Structure 1
């Protein structure tokens, strides 16, 4: 049977587009045909348009209105809500990287949201998928006593030294329109009174970074049932370290530790799930290094022997996510995360920011104030 080729447009030509998505779309020409590219920096967009032999635009809605695409890949900076809405209104299928939006109101009443897939690529990592299978064999999420996530994250420029991505430099005037819309969405989430450090923590750390870890927690055990504790430190450093803990939907608890470390040698992430009879330990390296193997350690006991099984796979998570998106478009196979799941993660991030604001004596309002800080 012939595989349908999906014509896809790419909005946003920053580092993640250059290092991961564009090379993988080129690799998977059996599934996708790049149809158009867009970036607010016209010269930057035209450079990639010439490289790939496709039309280039500096306005995403102009690209959508020009037609020729079945689907849109949204990789722009800031909130993706308005562009996702515009693409869905035109009948396109959409794969959006995070942040999908900064407020739940921004994403309300999205037209034809059944065509939307949200890109949490670690959910498609082969080791993460294997952990999910092993967890089911062990008895399911309810057997987990504790889930611990630790992220050690150096600056993006350090992680990208090997790639030397081309820079995009749109004019401040072009950016201001989108920045103003982002601020309105953040105000809807946190209230006008929320101070700038709290707004940045919410938008740039929780919804652009920590939400990727929340997506893994949600996939393995369900979204956190409570946010009991949040700490942010040191006060003079941005981005800071973030620590959060609370209850899982079952009897277990979670701890999340996210550290931005300016001089750290390389990106490392571990996800450990401990249960009565053993542990699952998942480790990730730099996401920008394609086909770098992730590792799953499975610890158990047989008689008097402690047994450790090691599972590694070089299959690329970003590529597996694109393959899943193709199945979504051509076979209507539901993705791991869509609008409902993204809204769940946004709500958890809002509970985290409320818990932090309460402890720090900072004012917050909006959607955040309407949610219980500790519960679901």
Structure 2
């Protein structure tokens, strides 16, 4: 997975738009959008697909002169759908319906698979050419009007199309089709056969404005497997409460915002359960905050290696791939499920850690259920 995602980073860094203004995420919990690459501040939905309500995507399948397809397109499609849309429906508490329309035929690309640069380090221009060629090949058979997202799936024999980058293009630099411009396009590669439908969820997350939470320099030191935008194969991959709020899947009323000195008490419901207060947010600086949420073995986190209160730092001035979110490890000397952050949660009981203090902020877990006392000096 590391090679796939690091290469994808080059594409993302080459095309993310200019600083953006606040949209819907506002109030005392909000951090400013600083113009960082895929900033953790509010999203300008003029530049991204807004993942609320029904989002329509079209999937086209391509093969190549050097690697013609011999299998049916349905085999590739079933690897991504319906798992991907179902995952989004669960994570969004039903607020997102991803409607994917497949065009079940192979469209022949004009160049060999080896000509598109995936294995040599994919540039924005070459990636855009690949997408434009796919659209031209399918244009006579596909009416692209009415779709917000485009997915391009290569045949399995095209080993040169090795990984799954996402194109995020500024206005005027996308790919035109039937009178519309696709500025957010996911192009799948052969890693979809290793990671399955979660590749669709991770890469679509970029089209929704989410950053990468793994390290472009290598590894997963920032959040481990606690968000799909980090370790894609992690056992607790549900999106963080901060991301759910950023995307419009949580309301501001579902966050407890602490911005003044004093002591407050908050009862949180697990992230996997609809309704209730999902997180406490404590502003610690102009672009920074500490966030606490509850993760349990349920829903998309059913295989979690540890449970309890997850605390993490958010910095909206940090670029995608450089750690805009960093989980606080309650047990830095141990790991779980092979992940140093797999047992990062705070909890009550033998061997557990129930308190954490940083930057004049203290969290104390008072009871499971889960009740947190927050003290800000």
Report the TM-score, using the length of structure 2 for normalisation. Answer: 0.27
